[in-house]
Amino acid sequence: MTMTDEPVEELLELCWTAMEDGLSPLDRDHLPLQLICFLPHPLDQHPAAPGPVIDGMLRDGWLTAEGRRIQLSPAGQHRAKEVVRRHRLTEVLLHTLLTISEAAMESTACQVEHILNTEVTEAVCAFLGHPPSCPHGRAIPRGHCCEQATATIEPLIVPLARLAVGEEGTVAFVQSRRHAYLQRLGAMGLVPGRRLRLRQSRPALVVQVGETELALDAHAGREILVRRHGGHHA
């Protein structure tokens, strides 16, 4: 991956989004503003301007052209799919793990998409439970790990409330705007890496942490995300 690959991948992503929205093929001289907004910065600020980048992509076989109209070639679609997949999975990861602004999420995803390799991308996807869409509602292209998964396989990371009574899990992270409650959970030992077992789900959540049983409110059942261990015990 070289610096000059970034504008290529961003244009591949733009063309993919255009294809999703029924706007393909594109007029190379009038790229739609509603798609350019998905890029991390204006195309005319890249080291290579859009025109030369498009010319290079045509030479390399990523794009095909009919007059001034351009669209992804089969090879371009394959590469664009991987770029879009990395970008949208990163958005889900940031949105799920951290409560950050949409602008920060988008700009970070635009950087990360260029550096993730296949192994890490597949691991992130499996970690998130093969999410079907990003926070913007756009579909995440399926990968090899998704094809191996079946509809009966539960996500690896789930809200605490999704555990069956008797099932064990390890706290993966806690997402909550209730800062005082976060501190209380930490004081009770409910921190990432801590193993727990769900003892009761109604009328209140009760979990066992070590030798201690803790009663939690309904919000905690959604805010505490746990890594399932598989199977459960009565």
| pLDDT tens-digit series, residues 127-161 | 787 888 888 888 999 998 887 765 444 567 788 88
Which has the higher per-residue pLDDT, 155 or 84?
84
Domain count, the chain: 2
Minimal CA–CA distance to 36: which of 58, 10, 62? 10
pLDDT at 59: 95
pLDDT at 154: 55
Mean pLDDT, to the nearest integer, of 155-168? 85
pLDDT at 33: 57
Question: Which CATH number is 121's domain given?
Answer: 1.10.10.10
Q: How far apart are CA 232 and CA 87, in angstroms?
A: 35
Same domain, 4 and 28: yes
Q: How far apart are CA 218 and CA 204, in angstroms?
A: 7
pLDDT at 49: 53
Q: Is the dihedral of CA 182, 176, 191, 160 positive or negative?
A: positive
Q: Is the dihedral of CA 117, 143, 149, 159 positive or negative?
A: positive
Domain, as residue range, for 137? 1-153
Backbone angles phi, psi at 61, to 5 degrees: 85, 10
Same domain, 3 and 111: yes
Same domain, 145 and 167: no
pLDDT at 1: 42
Same domain, 177 and 191: yes
Same domain, 175 and 89: no
Tens-digit pLDDT profile for residues 88-109 = 999 888 876 666 777 788 788 8
pLDDT at 173: 75
Mean pLDDT, to the nearest integer, of 177-198? 84
Among residues 91, 122, 153, the one where a domain terminates is 153
| Local confidence band at 83 (pLDDT 50, 70, 90 cut-offs) | very high
Mean pLDDT, to the nearest integer, of 118-131? 86
Same domain, 11 and 121: yes
Among residues 135, 153, 171, the one where a domain terminates is 153
The model carries a pTM of 0.63
Reading across the β-sheet that carries 205-209, which strands appear in turn?
Answer: 157-159, 224-232, 167-174, 195-200, 205-209, 212-216
Least confident of 41-50, 99-108, 135-144, 199-208: 41-50
Among residues 138, 153, 168, the one where a domain terminates is 153
